[in-house]
Every structure is written in C-alpha cells, then in structure tokens.
Chains A and B, each alone.
Chain A
Amino acid sequence: MPHDARTSRSLIGPFEFRKAAILVEATPMRAGSISQLLTGVTLATELSIFYHLHQHFLVDPNILPEYPNDFARWVAQHLGNGVVAERLANLNLFRAANLQEIRHEITVALAQYLAHTSDRRQVQPGLEFIFCQPRILVLPCRETAATPEAFLEALRTVDIQSIAYHLFESKVVPTGARNDFTRWFEALGFTDLADRLDTFDPYLNSLEDNRNYLVKLIADGLRRHNHA
C-alpha cells in the first residue's frame, strides 16, 4: 500500500539504532537439581530470566550453541538430563509476548517432568546453576535511518549488539510480541514486509546469521513494495 506508506512516513520518526551495555550481577540464588532450578526460575527476577535466555547472543554473535539458553545447557552438561535439556531448548521464546509467559513455560516444563519422575540428580559442589542478572545501560548507536532504504544500509553495518537489542528488548519492556524492526516497518505502512519480519524467528540463528537474513528479507520486501 504505497499511499499509506507515504502518509505514515511523515508521521513516523527515524529509526534510532540503540544497543545495551551490561554489567552482570551474580545473585545469591543457586540450583543444584531440577527441583531447585524450578524454585529458582519461579523466584528469579524477570531480568535474570531474560539474561539466561539471551546471554549467548552477547558473548559470541557468530555462534548458535548446541543448547540455546543457559538453563538447557546446564541441565544437559551438569545434570546429564537430555530430556529436560531438550524441553528447555524448545521454549517458544519467539512467540512469547513477555517474560512472564516465558517463565511460565519453563516452570511448567520443569514441574511436569518432576511430577512424572523420581529423578533427584544433584550436581557436584561447584557446578550449581548460579542465577545472574544484568544491569543494563542503553546507549545510542551512531546510526539512524529516516527511510527504509537508509535502514537497510545501516542494518548491514550497525553494531551487531544493536540488532540483538532491537530483536529481543521487547521481551524486557513488553510492547507486544513484535520486535522494534517489525513495528517500525508496520508504522511506515510496509505491512507485507512487517508481516514477513514477524514470522522470522531470531532464536534459531546466530546473531550474524540473523543480520544476514534480515538484510535479505528487507531488501526483498522493499523491492516488492516499490514494484507494487
């Protein structure tokens, strides 16, 4: 809908790329078994849950680890429980609107497992899961984009942590399930592109792969839009 897009463009501000610098805090909460992990996830702050689900993106943007979050990795590596690790790897983070939903999904997975097993495995001392939480400072990046074309160019080179921020930050400050990129294009009237962005699950790729995929998707979306 080119007409809507032109109207919207005048109302929508430029996209300001931001990123988050974080300092990590270790909390006193530790878990040595599945049941203690359940207690910890129930009591942990939302920021702590967020951190353990996303921190691998911050450490290395080129890697998608075997287990895509700290909970699953710890259960696999230190408790040797592949079943629970796989359940925790398969969380529906992409569609969860906020961290309460994600916390609920984790606690249900753990509680259901505990309800049907006598597994009371405990890790060796020193290998406990330590709940951490981030202290976040949001910083502006150099890049801003007033047009979709400028956005595409900026996306190719912007700090990879900015892509993480805009893809995942909506989980910390709930703005609906859609991420910042989707909402900006939607507001500009690029509804087809926004819908396609909305079906893209960033949790299945490394951050750099996400960048490459987004660039391709948006370039293609703009071509189609201009053609229409």
Chain B
Amino acid sequence: MLEAYRDIAPQTTLDEIRALAEVLQGRTIQHINSTRSGGGVAEILRRFVPLTESLGIRARWDVISGPPEFYEVTKAFHNALQGGEADFAARDFDIYLACVKENAARLTLAGDVIVVHDPQPAYLLEYTRPDGAHAVWRCHIDVSRPHERVWRFLRRAVAKYEAAIFHVPQFAQDLPIPQLLIAPSIDPLSDKNRELTDAEVTAVTDRFGIDRRRPILVQVSRFDRFKDPLGVIAAYRLVRQTFDCQLVLAGGGADDDPEGAEVLAEVQAAAAGDPDVFVLELAADSHVAINALQRAATVVLQKSLREGFGLTVAEALWKGTPVVAGAVGGIPTQVFNGVNGFLVHSPEGAAFRLRYLLSHPKQARRMGSRGREHVRRNFLITRHLRDYLLLMITCLYGTKASGPLQLTGGTVEPAVR
C-alpha cells in the first residue's frame, strides 16, 4: 500500500517509514475513537489502519458507542473545549461517565500502544487499564482557550495517560505528562486531493456558472464567523476596484448548526446582486467539487480570525495554488509569509496581497509551487504515519528527550558516536 505513494510523497519519508516499521514488526497499535465514518479522525484512521497493517504492524481500530444523549453531551464538550460558551449540569457529566464506563467493559484494550482520540473516549483509562500497554491521548481540536469547567473535567482523565498529542504548540496545555506535537495531514490519493484533469475541473466550474477565463478567488470553509466570510467579501470588493475577478465562498450545509445558518444568511445578503460572487452550499461528500474549486482558483483565501490547524490551507497549497490566510492557529506553520502565500490580519491586508498576486502571475505560480513542495514534505499522510511510528518507538523504548536514540540493525538503543 505504501507503494501507492511512491513518486508522490518524499522517498525519504517512505524510507523512514520502512526503517521504523522494521523494529515494530509484530507490535500492535490500537486506535480508539467515537465514530467509524464522518469527520477527519475517521477519515485518517480509515487510511492509517490498512497502511500500518501493510507494514507488518498490527493495527486495531475500535469505536465507542452510546445513546444519542451521550453524543449531545460530547458535542457540547467539543464546542466548549474550542472556546464556545455553554452551561453544563452535573447530569451531563454523569451521562458521559456512565457511557464511557459501559464501553470500557465492552472494549478489549489490546495494543502495545493505545491511541485514544479526542474527548469522547478519554475517560476509558479511568475504568480499564491493560497491563504493559502505553496509552496516549490524541487531541484533534483547538483547546488553546477551553471552557474551564469542561477542561478541568477532561484534564483529570488526560493526566493519567503516558503522553498527550496536540497539533501545534499553541494547543498544548498545563498537564503533568509529556505533550507531543504531531501535525495533521492530507491524503494526496483521496478524492479531495487527487489529481484532476482539466476537464474534470471545468465540469465543476461550469456546473456552478464560474468563468475560468477570469481570476477566481476561493474560500472553502464552514459558514462560521471565525472564518470571516464577510471579511472575505469586503476584501473581494476592494480587489474588484481594479481587477475583474470572481469570488467563490464554498461551505458545508448548515442544517444542524443554527449559527451557521445565520452566518450563511448574512453572507448571502452581503453577496446579493453581485453575479460574480458564488455562495455555494456543498454536501458533506462534495470532495471532488472542493478539489476542483481549489484547483480552479487563482488564489485561495482562508481569512480566518480563529483557526484550529486549518487543513484547507494545506489542501490548496498541495494543488499549487497560492494562499492568502489569517495569521492564526496552525496557519503560520503552513504559510510562510511571502514565500508560499501571505499572512494577513484584515480585509485590507487580504485585498493588498490579492491584488499583488493577481498582478504577478509568475510570482503567484512560484509561490504555489513552493507551497506544494512544503505540503509534500510536511503535511502528507505519509509524514503523519511516520510520526505515529516514531510515537510507538518513543513509547516502547522510553526516551524522555534525555538523549537521542539510534536505530541500528533493527534495534533501538541510545545513540553513540
């Protein structure tokens, strides 16, 4: 399976994966999360598990389950941990704990290394702890400004793991355990990121009435105030004073998100009457359409005011499209200002950089190509897999940054010169 990434991912990463896998033969990594479909975690695990197995390492993927009220509580936790305001009753915590306890009785924890993903199953270790296994908690959300009560509750569980893993340093917390950093990734073979023919791209733009002969500015994101879609429209209006361009704001449906629907209505009102602004509500599985829009774009925007990691930036850069993005969350680790795109702080800043890129197409192409290379080295699923193998070795061979280890002849030992 790893072969599928040859000529796409860096050969050195593939070599590292094979070298690391050699010392992990017959070991088991077990992933536990809360859903087998939908969402970024399930998407990545669906690829990780067979890839890991293909390397001779056993991979298990177990999913906790619960009644709808459990998921209502965990969704509220999820939002609160990302800074949302919420009130919780003692009953909410009871519902959560009872459900995790039931799952602990049902699940077999059987990995050499057990990775528990996100808050939903975090309390599992409270009720079951297999002998000799190394358990780590993997956080996929931005907990840099969490709801205090919910974080305090979660922290009690997380502190019992051997380590916690966050996307970027800014998400790390005050914890008594090591906090490792593993950035998320995109899969270059997925529908959202695979190569498309020009005809496939045109089919999508034609479907929405977008003119590929004129510059296209695209922002792909939920209709959410933190993504600043109104700021994007403001920037576009400033650019329109000198450039005949189009703006595409593409986001998921907002049926289950009252605030999303409200923001969408505001965006539609702001765009009303301008035939060159396309506000697209796309279904959750519109991966090829998003891929095509990012490829058709002259510049991709991600003008977030607050962001988790912002993987849509990596997706755009992977397609060789330069990006103008807010300097927040994980975006500065993806966009080097002036190298593969621009970091901005205001609609005016975005407009200025957009005008620059539209008037310097060669420079824009060069930035796009640097962006693709940056993603190839740092944000593909192969690098992510390599990091998980390193994590396994770190857990199994017990380094605590006291000194380097070295891999020699299929074993791991302290590094000597």
Determine whether the beta carbon of A138 is less than 8 Å from that of B394.
Answer: no
Whether, in the assembled complex, A75 has its beta carbon less than 8 Å from a beta carbon of chain B, the answer is: no
Determine whether the beta carbon of A137 is less than 8 Å from that of B401.
Answer: no
Residue of B182, B370, B401, B408 touching A140 (CB-CB under 8 A): B408
Residue of B169, B170, B394 touching A135 (CB-CB under 8 A): B394
Q: Please, which residues of chain A bring their CB within 8 A of the CB of B20?
A: 21, 137, 139
Determine whether the beta carbon of A21 is less than 8 Å from that of B386.
Answer: yes
Determine whether the beta carbon of B407 is less than 8 Å from that of A139.
Answer: yes
Distance in Å: Cβ of B304 to nearest Cβ of chain A: 14
Whether, in the assembled complex, A115 has its beta carbon less than 8 Å from a beta carbon of chain B, the answer is: no
Residues 19-70 (chain B) with a chain A CB within 8 angstroms:
19-20
Determine whether the beta carbon of B387 is less than 8 Å from that of A23.
Answer: yes
A142 to B16, CA, bound (A): 11
Q: Knowing that A139-B16, A140-B408 touch, tell me 17 more A-B residue pairs with CB under 8 angstroms.
A: A20-B404, A23-B181, A23-B182, A24-B180, A25-B180, A59-B374, A132-B181, A135-B180, A135-B394, A136-B405, A136-B415, A137-B390, A137-B394, A138-B405, A138-B406, A160-B12, A173-B404
When A and B form their complex, what is the total count of cross-chain residue pairs whose Cβ atoms lie within 8 Å?
96
Q: Please, which residues of chain B bring their CB within 8 A of the CB of A161?
A: 12
Residue of A26, A141, A159, A160 touching B181 (CB-CB under 8 A): A26
Determine whether the beta carbon of A137 is less than 8 Å from that of B181.
Answer: no
Residue of A28, A45, A139, A141 touching B401 (CB-CB under 8 A): A45
| Closest B residue, CB atoms, query A159 | B12
**Which of B108-116, B171-179, B267-275 faces chain A?**
B171-179
Determine whether the beta carbon of B404 is less than 8 Å from that of A21.
Answer: no
Determine whether the beta carbon of A21 is less than 8 Å from that of B178.
Answer: no
Chain B contact residues, majority secondary structure: mixed
Query: Which residues on B are within 8 Å of A, measured CB to CB?
Result: 12, 15-16, 19-20, 144-145, 166, 169-170, 172, 174, 178-182, 336, 339, 370, 373-374, 377-378, 386-387, 390-391, 393-394, 399-401, 404-408, 412, 415, 417
A212 to B16, CA, bound (A): 24
In the complex, which range does the number of interface residues on chain A fall in? 35 or more
Q: Please, which residues of chain B bring their CB within 8 A of the CB of A26?
A: 166, 169, 172, 179-181
Q: Please, which residues of chain A bring their CB within 8 A of the CB of B179?
A: 25-26
Distance in Å: Cβ of A15 to nearest Cβ of chain B: 13
Residue of B145, B170, B404, B408 touching A172 (CB-CB under 8 A): B404
Given contact pairs A26-B169, A63-B336, A136-B405, A142 touches B15 in the complex (Cβ within 8 A): yes
| Closest A residue, CB atoms, query B397 | A137
| Closest A residue, CB atoms, query B12 | A159
Residues 46-74 (chain A) with a chain B CB within 8 angstroms:
47, 59-60, 62-63, 65
A21 to B181, CA, bound (A): 14
